[in-house]
Structure 1
Amino acid sequence: MSMQTGTELSGQQNGMDYWLLGATLVLAGLGLIMVLSASGVMAERAMESKYFYFRKQAMYALVGLVVMLFFAKMPKKLMYAPVYLWLFAIIGLLCLTLIPPFSVKAGGARRWLSLGGVSIQPMELAKVALVFYLAYFFSQKQKLVRSFSVGFIPPVVVTGGLGLILLLQPDFGGAVFLGMLFFLMSLVGGTRMTYLFVSVLFGAGAIGLLIVQSPYRFKRWFAFLDPFKDPQNVGYQLVQSFYAFGSGGITGAGFGSGKQKLFYLPEAHTDFVMAVLGEEMGFIGVSMVFLCIAILLWRAFRIALSQDDLRDRFTAYGMALVLGLGFLLNLAVVLGCVPPKGVAMPFLSYGGSSLVACFLCVGVLLNLSRRQTP
């Protein structure tokens, strides 16, 4: 019988999950390359330097790496202690987006705060704050989680409150994202299926009402069913995305040689960066991204399943959901599977708030991976 150390007997591991770390760094590095390619022409015309967005994204990536390492090494008690502080701070930031002097209006919505010349999108951090809260709630209320007043109403009020502020910005996609987080975490948290079924019906009705009341939103919501019916208006972005993917072939046109980013495809370096990648790197490049995503999510959910502590398990599961839903929804939009909505591609799309929030999620997962059972 072989000798076992105290660490092995207790089921603890001192090392981080380097598969998760490696997949994250590859995606982030590829994201920097694609931001440079997708934004170069636009940046050169608007900012007089084709490296403008690339330099900003590199700075965001550096900040994200520091945040990831900070959370990866942070004592677990310190990470969990300010759960309500996280929540109230995010609510405060979201409310500030509704006040013109503090917020930046773009595309008809106030989703960004301007702080010292830096734009912050609080919604990206709201996803993380909601995960911390729901993980705390479901781990502490397991004996009461199947009751309506104690186990169901509080998380509904918190999630609904955050969603309502987002709808006032308006950020329809962000509110739906938080609703999906709530549903999937409640599903494993022990909430009665009856309550979840009723909440889904209520949510679907609210979504339908919001769509019907806005003619433009109604057209845009159903544009993905047949984008070529109105290719110069509501279907334009999706049609250009199809052209980009279709022209990529097996090996792609080559880095920097894509045509759709030349003012044909709107938001080429943000929400639709995968279309540019598909055109320039082809099926091989897209497959490499899918492989990295698969490795990242495999390790993330494995970390969640390996936790002994219930709060650790819910927290890891929630962080994996933030990343997984981001990947899924962005790919579904650029491939025309769901209505177009502003969902950034984790680690690949341009944007500091999204990138730092994704690194934060990975940092929490790396932290918990040091405490997983073999």
Structure 2
Amino acid sequence: MSRVKVATAETKKQGPFDLWLLGAALLLAGLGLVMVFSSSGVMAERLNGNRYYFFQRQALFALVSLTLMALCAWMPRKVLHGPVYLWLFAIVGLLVLTLVPPFSVKAGGARRWMHFGPATLQPMELAKVVLVMYLAYFFSQKQKLVRSFSVGFIPPVVVTGFLGLILLLQPDFGGAVFLGMLFFLMSLVGGTRMTYLAVSMMFGVGAMGLLIASSPYRFKRWFAFLDPFKDPQNVGYQLVQSFYAFGSGGITGAGFGAGKQKLFYLPEAHNDFIMAVLGEELGFIGISIVFICIGILLWRAFRVALAQDDLRDRFTAYGMALVLGLGFLLNLAVVLGCVPPKGVAMPFLSYGGSNLLSCFLCVGILLNLSRSART
């Protein structure tokens, strides 16, 4: 009987990849390359004398990310789940090094990036994946004790809180909130008592309130989304320009490359607000294509999670789906003015190697797990 079970498990591991998941991710990344070229050409030519500068770098990021995705997709499950605490210590070390001037670069008043020769890494993007791997391991191994306070609740709170504290010191308020959301949603399905989660959520909201109130600039920016037209030349400027871009797109858009808001009107046009440029140039049809791809990707990702027999595999797939889903949700909420403006990259579409790397890392892990999904 044991031989039959082992053979069955090995056969399931050699199953096919989820091609719907892969296709949706590749389509989004391809569209992202096109939009990075369109939204950054003028800026790249002025700043670097080469209109293809950001596009070429993004294409290189995509090549590296696709290679990592392939490695994760074919990686043996034992290696994939491997030394989770080693990855945790490594990411803590990288985050700490961002606070040390010789090892990091300061931009926009924050130290979030590290230079490795010509490459730049934002450890926070990898911290999302590592936190998921840790929480998946923890909740799968501690199911009998997960409802206890000292064993089932305190350890993941300490780990998540420590990572969030380092991000706040950079400072990266949005990154800390993202990790907190990951912790809450994974704990919700992991079996943590609702009482503990409710208390931790109230504590988190209270801490956010204190941080916002303690900084006048952060306070103004945090509430700018309520009425961005009240101060359209200052704290509401970026959001107002995003609205203008979406509003001028119409059904079919102005046409690829014909958008005007990217011409130094919309800050971060090729980064966090790339969806506004896409909406202006490709219109409702282009936005709808993106939404369809997102829907397919998240549908297949959560389907992979639900189809796992092993509890750790199920938590891991669920967490990877959350990393992608929260990224989509928060970016769209920001550019549409539903939440306060904060730097959240659009998965697969925004310019940036670290975010693209973490997105394809999630897809590679999901593809790996899809091979053992129940059919």
Match of 1:337?
Answer: 338
Q: By how many angstroms is 1:13 displaced? A: 5.9
Secondary structure, aligned partner of 2:180: helix
Q: Does 1:180 align with 2:185?
A: no
8 Å contact from structure 1 (residues 16, 366) kept in 2: yes
Which range moves more in the overlay, 75-84 or 187-196? 75-84
8 Å contact from structure 1 (residues 23, 293) kept in 2: yes
Q: Does 1:138 align with 2:139?
A: yes
Q: By how many angstroms is 1:8 displaced? A: 10
Between the aligned partners of 2:12 and 2:312, the Cα distance in structure 1 is 17
Match of 1:193?
Answer: 194
- State the TM-score, normalized to the length of structure 1: 0.97
Match of 1:227?
Answer: 228
Q: Does 1:302 align with 2:291?
A: no
Q: Does 1:126 align with 2:127?
A: yes
**1:240 aligned partner, one-letter code:** Q
8 Å contact from structure 1 (residues 112, 122) kept in 2: yes
Between the aligned partners of 2:342 and 2:198, the Cα distance in structure 1 is 25
- State the TM-score, normalized to the length of structure 2: 0.97
Q: By how many angstroms is 1:81 displaced? A: 1.1
| Equivalent pairs, count | 369
1:94-133 deviation digits (Å, cap 9, x = unpaired): 0000000111100000000011121100000000000000
1:164-187 deviation digits (Å, cap 9, x = unpaired): 000000000000000000000000
Match of 1:236?
Answer: 237
Match of 1:254?
Answer: 255
1:201-254 deviation digits (Å, cap 9, x = unpaired): 000000000000000000000000000000000000000000000000000000
8 Å contact from structure 1 (residues 97, 112) kept in 2: yes
Between the aligned partners of 1:171 and 1:12, the Cα distance in structure 2 is 39
Match of 1:321?
Answer: 322
Between the aligned partners of 2:333 and 2:367, the Cα distance in structure 1 is 28
Secondary structure, aligned partner of 2:288: helix
Q: Does 1:357 align with 2:358?
A: yes
Extract unaligned runs of 5+ from structure 2: 1-6
Secondary structure, aligned partner of 2:105: strand
8 Å contact from structure 1 (residues 23, 296) kept in 2: yes
Which range moves more in the overlay, 256-265 or 9-18? 9-18
Between the aligned partners of 1:8 and 1:364, the Cα distance in structure 2 is 18
8 Å contact from structure 2 (residues 44, 53) kept in 1: yes
Secondary structure, aligned partner of 1:105: strand
Q: Does 1:270 align with 2:276?
A: no
8 Å contact from structure 2 (residues 12, 371) kept in 1: no
Between the aligned partners of 1:10 and 1:39, the Cα distance in structure 2 is 47
Alignment of 1:6-25 (within 5 A): 14-25=15-26
Secondary structure, aligned partner of 2:93: helix
8 Å contact from structure 1 (residues 7, 13) kept in 2: no
Alignment of 1:27-176 (within 5 A): 27-176=28-177
Secondary structure, aligned partner of 1:149: coil
1:247-267 deviation digits (Å, cap 9, x = unpaired): 000000000000000000000
Secondary structure, aligned partner of 2:325: helix
Match of 1:3?
Answer: none
Which range moves more in the overlay, 335-344 or 78-87? 78-87
8 Å contact from structure 1 (residues 13, 373) kept in 2: no
**1:47 aligned partner, one-letter code:** N
Between the aligned partners of 2:71 and 2:14, the Cα distance in structure 1 is 19
After superposition, the Cα gap between the structure-2 partners of 1:24 and 1:278, relative to the gap in structure 1 and judged at 3 Å, is same
Between the aligned partners of 1:85 and 1:147, the Cα distance in structure 2 is 26
After the TM superposition, which parts of structure 1 deviate over 4 Å for at least 4 consecutive aligned residues? 6-13
8 Å contact from structure 2 (residues 44, 54) kept in 1: yes
Secondary structure, aligned partner of 1:246: helix
Extract unaligned runs of 5+ from structure 1: 1-5
Q: Percent of pairs identical after alignment?
A: 79
Secondary structure, aligned partner of 1:119: strand
**1:212 aligned partner, one-letter code:** A
